[in-house]
Amino acid sequence: MSELAQLLATLVAAPSPTPPGSTVAVCEVIAATLRASGYAVQTLSRADTVDNVVASLGQGAPVLAFNSHIDTVAPGSGWRTDPYALTPQPDQRHAGLGAVNCKGSAAVQLWVAQQVARAGGPKKGTLVFSFAGDEERLGPNGTQFLAEAGHLKADMLVMAAPTSNTLMVEERGVLWARLTTKGRAAHAGDPAAGDNAITRMARLLVALHHYEAGSLAQRTLGEHRSTISVGTINGGANTNVVPDQCTVTLDRRLLPGLENIEAAMAELQHIIGAAGEPEGSWHLERMTGTNGFRMSPDQPLVRAFADAVKSVTGKTAEFRVPVGASDARFLSDSGTQIVIFGPGDDREGHAANESVAEAVLVEAGAIQLKVVRELLGLSA
């Protein structure tokens, strides 16, 4: 087993499923590996069982940071091998929980960290490697914590994801909002004596549907579309009671650079307010959200990746547009240059028997090492 595959095997053998979400063991492995290579290492957390590691080498600007989440989903059923033991497959692939999402990327980044240290460190600037938990439940105690607390600041950020070694340099923003309607409870045998909060919600959802099918459907940016989706709905206490409250959650995706959270919330308030329901009978609140980003192909980090892909593979770099959102969203408003990149097919992530080809791991490592060399140089 190659050095890179051995790193992956070590990460896979340190369980970090969410739930329960403990990244303590895997962070101990990562921290020890980076300390042994001469990095200044911190293990940071603001929630029990959710550890994060930040390691640095060099000093000053520019700061080039790498980030990977190291929590996984639970293994589930259908595994043909031990999910916590990296198992070689006949086709030069390696199977194990997180091999694709996202311990494969984490292993590659650790390998890059080791190679840079062996070459004497960066010639200029600071190289940072960060490994975060809490990603699989979209929680606040991983990369979000590192960014908010100032532990992860960068001029350029390489965000790990299973992109099949293609580049992602843009991402829609995401806004989650909660809409609540109020009514008046009554016996279902005399519904006119009450005010049904669920039927009020139904009228508001019709208004949101017209908004979705009308003006929102016209908003596009390249392959991106503005969208809104109802995620959950809850209301009522019993079948024989006119409900006095109903709540839905909304997922609104925002065009990068053209839409932002504040404007999107104001627009939702306007659409709902124009539906004609009495004042005070509904309430909209923001749950969470981050703006999107769209990098220019002329930015140094994007150019460095494109050049490195060409150098390593002989092929022109391929750019993809993600459907979902990554932890890069927590630095979307910071002015940081961002590239999302990593080995593995995202269709295999979260599936039983997920596996990654060793050749793809090696390619990802070579590309990212060339990026470091181009942007910071190596001392040896």
SS3 per-residue string spanning the chain: CCHHHHHHHHHHCCCCEECCCCCHHHHHHHHHHHHHCCCEEEEECCCCCCCEEEEEEECCCCEEEEEEECCEECCCCCCCCCCCCCEECCCCEEECCCCCCCHHHHHHHHHHHHHHHHCCCECCCEEEEEEECCCCCCCCCCHHHHHHCCCCCCCEEEEECCECCCEECEECEEEEEEEEEECECEECCCHHHCECHHHHHHHHHHHHHHHHHCCHHHCEECCEECEEEEEEEEECCCCCEECCEEEEEEEEEECCCCCCHHHHHHHHHHHHHCCCCCCCCEEEEEEEEECCEECCCCCHHHHHHHHHHHHHHCCCCCECCCCCCCHHHHHCCCCCEEEEECCCECCCCCCCCCEEEHHHHHHHHHHHHHHHHHHHCECC
Q: What is the pLDDT of residue 138?
A: 87
Q: Do residues 75 and 187 both lie within one domain?
A: no
Q: Do residues 241 and 352 both lie within one domain?
A: no
Mean pLDDT of 173-191: 98
Mean pLDDT of 190-200: 98
For residue 17, how far is the Cα from the chain centroid? 16
- R_g of the chain computed on alpha carbons: 24
**ω into residue 19 within 30 of 0, thus cis?**
yes
97/80 Cα distance (integer angstroms) = 12
**Structural domains of the chain, count:** 2
Q: Do residues 101 and 17 both lie within one domain?
A: yes
pLDDT band at 282 (very low <50, low <70, confident <90, very high): very high
Q: Which two three-digit tokens encode residue 265? A: 């919330």
Q: pTM for the full model?
A: 0.93
Q: In this structure, what CATH number is given to the domain that contains residue 317? A: 3.40.630.10
pLDDT band at 19 (very low <50, low <70, confident <90, very high): confident
Q: Do residues 126 and 25 both lie within one domain?
A: yes
Closest to 285 in 3D by CA, of 359, 182, 178, 201 = 178
For the chain, what percent of residues have pLDDT higher than 70?
100
349 in Cβ contact with 169 (< 8 Å): no
Q: What is the pLDDT of residue 258?
A: 97
Closest to 364 in 3D by CA, of 319, 321, 312 = 312
For the chain, what percent of residues have pLDDT higher than 90?
94
**pLDDT of 123 above 90:** yes
Q: What is the pLDDT of residue 380?
A: 81
Q: Do residues 91 and 237 both lie within one domain?
A: no
Q: What is the pLDDT of residue 11?
A: 98
Mean pLDDT of 252-277: 98
Last residue of one domain, picked from the residues 290, 315, 331: 290
Q: Do residues 142 and 182 both lie within one domain?
A: no
Q: Do residues 268 and 192 both lie within one domain?
A: yes
Q: Residue 309 belongs to what domain range?
A: 3-171+293-376
**pLDDT of 349 above 90:** no
Last residue of one domain, picked from the residues 290, 314, 340: 290
Q: In this structure, what CATH number is given to the domain that contains residue 209? A: 3.30.70.360
Mean pLDDT of 43-70: 97
